[in-house]
Amino acid sequence: MAKKLNILFLISEADPLIKVGGLGDVGGTLPIALKKLPKEKIDRTEIDIRVVIPYHDQIKQKNWPTEWLLNYKIQSRRGFKDVYLSKALNTEVPIYLIDGMPIRNTGVYSSNTHRDLEKYAFFSVVAFEFCRKINWKPDIIHAHDWHTALTVKLLAQNRSFDPFFSRTKSLYTIHNLPYSGGDHSDILDLYDIRPAFDLDFPDYLRNLPMAIGLDSADHISTVSKTYAEEITTEAFGCGYQTFLRNHKYKLSGILNGIMMDQWNPATDHSVYMNFDVNHFENRFANKQHLQAARSKYSLVCHGWTYDFSKRN
């Protein structure tokens, strides 16, 4: 009999609904790749993976087709907050959209760290309660970067006395360690979220979502083995290196993959000359084509122009 593995996949972006950078690629493709894993390679396990992202204004502006599911409320120290849950249509895996006042009238990200933390703290709390509202118990909560770190913390705070999450484990993936979220204890207090308490964290990091996620996760992964090593060093650890060195037993580096139907140089129409392993010489022709185009990027604020055509 096939086993079943429920994965709650929390991320701030998921292509094609919303993509600002690399997180959008991961959110849009990794769940599909996991869903398509041959069962014989994963011990005959059926994967039920559900993606949850904020219902960003930019998604609404696209008029992406959705199905309304339900409304509910979450509690905060300033009273109850309304939540609106929808599901995106025409997607290969289920993608749920969380909406509410802290998510509206904001960009996906901004330079206002307080506003961003309020948005993503609300999202993290709502995503945690989402499972209970649809009566679906996740075996794994897979959270990505600081935007979803507080869900990992909520699991750690509640698992010991909440039967619904008693068997749920967390995986926290670091994509960009320097981006740790804002230090705003009032937002943490609003949702009863405790700071990171491990003594390996400097005091100035304890209220940052990144530290809180690292402190609470059952396992931590990064986007490559090299990055997993780099972030344990002073040069790249951003203050987290001592914690990460002392917790290497739960730190893994897994190289980001690509969807070959999207990024296949043998068939990609945006490539000047297609190439594959048997026609690798065409890759050099692509470089020559770019150099001949004399593409220039002017950095006016620094008063100079970098000319890629002069590179060897």
Largest CA distance in the chain: 66
pLDDT tens digit at each of 312 positions of the chain: 568 999 999 999 999 999 999 999 999 999 999 998 887 777 878 999 999 999 999 999 999 999 999 999 999 999 999 999 999 999 999 999 999 999 999 999 999 999 999 999 999 999 999 999 999 999 999 999 999 999 999 999 999 999 999 999 999 999 999 999 999 999 999 999 999 999 999 999 999 999 999 999 999 999 999 999 999 999 999 999 999 999 999 999 999 887 777 788 889 888 889 998 888 888 888 888 888 876 554 433 334 444 444 444
Nearest to 210 by CA among 239, 252, 235: 239
C-alpha 96: how far from its chain's center?
14
- What is the pTM assigned to this prediction? 0.88
Cβ distance 9 to 143 under 8 Å?
no
Euclidean distance between CA atoms 282 and 53, whole angstroms? 40
Query: Per-domain residue ranges for the chain?
Result: 3-253, 264-312
> Omega before 16 cis (within 30°)?
yes
Q: In the Cβ-directed half-sphere of 60, how many Cα atoms lie within 13 Å?
A: 14
The fold of the 3-253 domain, in CATH, is Rossmann fold (3.40.50)
